[in-house]
Amino acid sequence: MRPIWTLLFPVVLAIIATLTDYLPAKMGVPLSCALILLLVLRPQWRQSDKKAGLDVYFVIAAFLFSAVGDYFLSNKSGQAFYFIIGIGLYLLAHLGYLGYAWRNGRLHWPLFGLLLLIYLPYYFLLLNPAITDPVLSLSVLAYLLISCLVLAVASGLTLSQPLKAVYIFGIALIVLSDTVISFNEFLQYKELNWLILPTYYLAHLSISYALLQWNQAGKLRTSVS
């Protein structure tokens, strides 16, 4: 079965979640993507490249952490503790994306520097003054730094085009979704809230499609100069 068809179920869940905000559908998008990666790719890992299988487990773990993070953020109801747990789980998800990218590439230093030039002033000038809880503020800073690092390492992937761009696009969408969440949660700027869920779900679908397609083409670890 071609990758695009295996992702039909999470696509349907993403549409339901976006239209209804139904928690099982929201959690179902990353969970179903993780399950698809496991079911489609695991039999081939046993037969061929176990190293590539270990790489993709980082992304599967990232999807699982994202699903649990969805639960805590959807049930936070103004509780800073739930928000901190949610941020922590999403941070672990980013570490999963980082693990996959780092094992298949290198840090793109110019992009990392550019991202820090954008996001560090954003944190210190806007976010930090708006966050009264110091633990939450430090959590946001750690998350911001990891997000910049993940996107920069994803941009340094030494994997074949054009699907490298699809993976980078997925990570960039996660960063965009998180940035809009920060607008809403800390700066009370809600005009872009409609972007949060579509970008988040499209990110999972893009990353999943890239890994499935790389595998189908036999290029999970095909490097390019």
Q: Report d(CA 82, CA 51) in Å as an integer.
A: 36
What is the model's pLDDT at position 158? 78
Q: In terms of Cα–Cα distance, which of 136, 10, 138, 48 is closest to 84?
A: 136
Tell me what the mean pLDDT of segment 49-77 comes to: 86
Q: At what angle do helices 8-20 and 23-47 cross, to 10 degrees?
A: 160
Q: Both tokens of residue 40?
A: 């489609």
Q: In terms of Cα–Cα distance, which of 154, 156, 162 is closest to 219?
A: 162
Q: Report d(CA 16, CA 71) in Å as an integer.
A: 16
Q: Report d(CA 23, CA 152) in Å as an integer.
A: 31
Of 72-86, 122-136, 171-185, 196-210, the poorest mean pLDDT is in: 72-86
* pLDDT, averaged across the chain: 88
What is the model's pLDDT at position 133? 87
Q: Give me the percent of the chain exceeding a pLDDT of 70.
A: 88
Tell me what the mean pLDDT of segment 189-202 comes to: 96
Tell me what the mean pLDDT of segment 206-221 comes to: 74
Tell me what the mean pLDDT of segment 11-38 comes to: 95
Residue 64 has pLDDT above 90, yes or no: yes
Q: Both tokens of residue 149?
A: 């690092």
164 by DSSP, 3-state: which? helix
Between 200 and 159, the more confident residue is 200
* Count helices and strands in the chain by DSSP H and E runs: 10, 0
Tell me what the mean pLDDT of segment 119-134 comes to: 95
Q: Give me the percent of the chain exceeding a pLDDT of 90.
A: 67
Residue 80 has pLDDT above 50, yes or no: yes
- Banded pLDDT at 17 (limits 50, 70, 90): very high
